[in-house]
């Protein structure tokens, strides 16, 4: 069964304290892995798509990496405005959930000034 597990569920950081969020996945052939940011009461905002192991993408203080089993979202010197829930989702090439986004439960990040 295709599955996505994110850890930790919640993460509290001080401003400037770098850390990483984890997304472990089991899927019947990976078409793509997606990171989204979601603020309370808003829709998910697209951050990154990763397609193959070894791929890395960066945007401002965020860097996403991908292996065959997991993805990391590294946050360097976070600011309070980075506080949000970060969602990881995978899209499978085949199987019952083929093509649909399978979401993890998210990591709620809080950055204190």
Partner 1 sequence: DTEVTQTPKHLVMGMTNKKSLKCEQHMGHRAMYWYKQKAKKPPELMFVYSYEKLSINESVPSRFSPECPNSSLLNLHLHALQPEDSALYLCASSQEYRNYGYTFGSGTRLTVV
- Residues at the interface with partner 1 (CB under 8 A): 31-32, 34, 36, 41-46, 49, 87, 89, 91, 98-101, 103-106
Nearer Cβ to partner 1, position 16 or 95? 95
Nearer Cβ to partner 1, position 24 or 76? 24
Nearer Cβ to partner 1, position 3 or 18? 3
DSSP calls for 27-75: -SSEEEEEEEEE-TTS--EEEEEE-STT-EEEETTEEEEE-SSEEEEEE
User: Pseudo-torsion of CA 79, 69, 44, 103, nearest 10°?
Assistant: -140
Minimum distance, C-beta of residue 8 to partner 1, in the bound complex (Å) = 14
Minimum distance, C-beta of residue 92 to partner 1, in the bound complex (Å) = 9
Minimum distance, C-beta of residue 95 to partner 1, in the bound complex (Å) = 12
- Neighbour tally for 105: CB within 10 Å: 13
Minimum distance, C-beta of residue 16 to partner 1, in the bound complex (Å) = 27
Check: CB of residue 41 under 8 Å from CB of residue 35.
Answer: no
């Amino acid at each position: 069964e295709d599955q996505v597990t994110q850890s930790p569920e919640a993460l509290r950081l001080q401003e400037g304290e770098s850390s990483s969020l984890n997304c472990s996945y089991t899927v019947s052939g990976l078409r793509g892995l997606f990171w989204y940011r979601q603020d309370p009461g808003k829709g998910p905002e697209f951050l990154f798509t990763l397609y193959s192991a070894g791929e890395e993408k960066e945007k401002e203080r965020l860097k996403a990496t991908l292996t065959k089993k997991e993805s990391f979202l590294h946050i360097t010197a976070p600011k309070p405005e980075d506080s949000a829930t970060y969602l990881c989702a995978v899209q499978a090439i085949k199987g019952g959930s083929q093509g649909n986004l399978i979401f993890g439960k998210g990591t709620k990040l809080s950055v204190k000034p």
